[in-house]
């Protein structure tokens, strides 16, 4: 047994396997811990829009909300512009003071409400944080309304002193919340599909890249470098089509459908997987076998910075910037749009094509720069005849 173990340990594949297992722990621990470090301290970077449809009468109220929020505020802003930004995930919630709000405060029989728009086509952390914030805003308005703001409101309504006293005493507890959810999610599994798909796509791309590189090395003496590169690209494209069809089919088969239909999901997944495959192969073209270890780090970075688990605003600037140059960011955004709901896929599709195209171009460039090993000479017929006679 000891002799067999030593034989295993002397084999390069065993050593590479052990190093790979260790590097998975090193890369994931380093990247994920540093990436998620103090994320909750950066929740205040989530942008929130404030829309005042009640004009100057509620301006003190809107100013008070803007000053009290711990988030980045977009104020003033029109409801149309705010809804467009919310749909595109450029803001995370809209706080709307509706028309006639200040007047309803003066009417003891009225029940004024603040409207909140939240987009559920986001990481679950966003919906949770924004829902909590909406409740706190309403509670603050009901229980701790600024005295100066009330005085300004009373003055703007030209109320008598007795009426002002009634207003101040009756306002507490009367304001309610009206939460409007865009793209409501009826199945939590939908929120996990983007992360699942990105992880499966790049992991599969890593495995394919390593095996194609090994096969290409074994065929080096039998086929030219350009023929091998062309074959790798053809196999990559066919495999991407097959894998994307499998992924889209499994998604539909397990009860998760896309708003734009099966063909749109398949086509987008094909572009995602193709981009992942070219990026994974690029590492191996650049660094040889070490590129396989680099791909482990790229997998971890993309899972962290894609926006699938936490909003990108709360990431550190480094991970936020790095994430935009890899496929996962655009893949998650597009899959969310397809599965949960959102704007068109133009930006995400363009980003994936540019990344995949750049990686493929670099593979072609590196192939051209490298000298191919000459094919093994074939024995001449005369030599074969001489050998057979002897």
289-327 pLDDT, tens digit per residue, is 899 999 999 999 999 988 888 888 888 888 888 888 999
Cα–Cα distance, 205 to 236 (Å, whole number)? 9
Structure tokens at 362: 């670099």
102-130 pLDDT, tens digit per residue, is 888 767 677 788 999 999 999 888 988 99
180-213 pLDDT, tens digit per residue, is 999 999 888 898 999 999 999 999 999 999 999 9
Task: Decide if pLDDT at 374 tops 60.
Answer: no
The pLDDT assigned to 151 comes to 61
The pLDDT assigned to 384 comes to 47
The region of weakest confidence among 154-163, 164-173, 365-374, 379-388 is 379-388
What percentage of the chain reaches a pLDDT higher than 70? 87
Residue 173 binned pLDDT confidence (cut-offs 50, 70, 90):
low
More confident residue, 23 or 104: 23
Mean pLDDT over the full length of the chain = 86
What percentage of the chain reaches a pLDDT higher than 90? 49
Q: Is the pTM of this model over 0.85?
A: no
The pLDDT assigned to 146 comes to 42
The pLDDT assigned to 376 comes to 47
Cα torsion through 335, 336, 341, 343, rounded to 10:
-80
């Amino acid at each position: 047994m000891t002799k067999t173990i030593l034989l295993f340990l002397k084999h390069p594949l065993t050593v590479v396997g052990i190093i790979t297992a260790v590097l998975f722990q090193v890369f994931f621990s380093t990247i994920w811990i540093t990436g998620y470090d103090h994320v909750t301290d950066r929740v205040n970077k989530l942008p929130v829009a404030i829309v005042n449809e009640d004009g100057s009468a509620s301006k003190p109220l809107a100013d008070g909300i803007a000053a009290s929020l711990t988030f980045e505020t977009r104020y003033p802003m029109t409801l149309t512009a705010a809804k467009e930004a919310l749909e595109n995930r450029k803001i995370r919630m809209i706080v709307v003071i509706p028309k006639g709000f200040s007047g309803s405060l003066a009417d003891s029989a009225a029940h004024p409400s603040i409207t909140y728009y939240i987009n559920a086509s986001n990481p679950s952390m966003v919906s949770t944080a924004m829902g909590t914030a909406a409740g706190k805003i309403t509670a603050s308005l009901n229980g701790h309304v600024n005295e100066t703001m009330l005085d300004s409101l009373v003055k703007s309504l030209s109320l008598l002193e007795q009426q002002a006293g009634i207003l101040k005493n009756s306002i507490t507890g009367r304001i309610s919340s009206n939460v409007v959810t865009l793209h409501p999610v009826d199945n939590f599994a939908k929120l996990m599909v983007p992360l699942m798909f990105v992880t499966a796509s790049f992991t599969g791309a890593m495995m394919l890249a390593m095996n194609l590189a090994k096969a290409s090395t074994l065929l080096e003496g039998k086929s030219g470098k350009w023929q091998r590169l062309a074959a790798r690209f053809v196999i990559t494209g066919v495999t991407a089509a097959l894998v994307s069809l499998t992924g889209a089919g499994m998604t539909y088969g397990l009860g998760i459908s896309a708003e734009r239909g099966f063909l749109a999901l398949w086509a987008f997944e094909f572009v995602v997987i193709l981009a992942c495959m070219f990026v994974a192969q690029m590492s191996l073209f650049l660094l040889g076998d070490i590129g396989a270890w680099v791909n482990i780090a790229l997998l971890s970075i993309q899972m962290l910075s894609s926006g699938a688990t936490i909003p990108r605003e709360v990431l550190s600037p480094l991970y936020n910037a790095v994430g935009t140059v890899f496929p996962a960011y655009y893949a998650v955004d597009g899959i969310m749009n397809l599965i949960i709901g959102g704007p068109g896929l133009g930006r995400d599709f363009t980003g994936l094509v540019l990344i995949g195209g750049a990686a493929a171009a670099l593979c072609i460039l590196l192939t051209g720069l490298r000298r191919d090993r000459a094919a093994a000479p074939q024995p001449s017929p005369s030599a074969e005849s001489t050998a057979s006679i002897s």
